[in-house]
Amino acid sequence: MIERTPPLVAIIVKIICWLLSVKIAWEWVEPNSFAKFLLFLIVWTIVGYVIDFIAIVILTAIFGECR
């Protein structure tokens, strides 16, 4: 029987990933103009995808296969 990631754990990890990606992108870009803010949004998206991918790999390793 394949274990699945508990929904509460997945929600908590997603919130942590979202907050972490905001912090990393904000500190990296430090927006102080409209153009920098647009760059921040782009960087935030990319960093968010990378962090989400890493979290999915870790959760899969802990809780088993994804289906």
Q: What is the DSSP letter of 3?
A: -
Span 26-44, average pLDDT: 95
20 or 62, higher pLDDT: 20
This prediction's pTM: 0.78
Q: Which of 1-5, 7-11, 44-48, 60-64 has the highest mean pLDDT?
A: 44-48
Residues 6+ apart with CB under 8 A from 36: 29, 30
pLDDT tens column, 2-31: 456 678 888 899 999 999 999 999 999 999
- Does pLDDT of 61 surpass 80? yes
Question: What is the domain partition of the chain in residue ranges?
Answer: 7-63
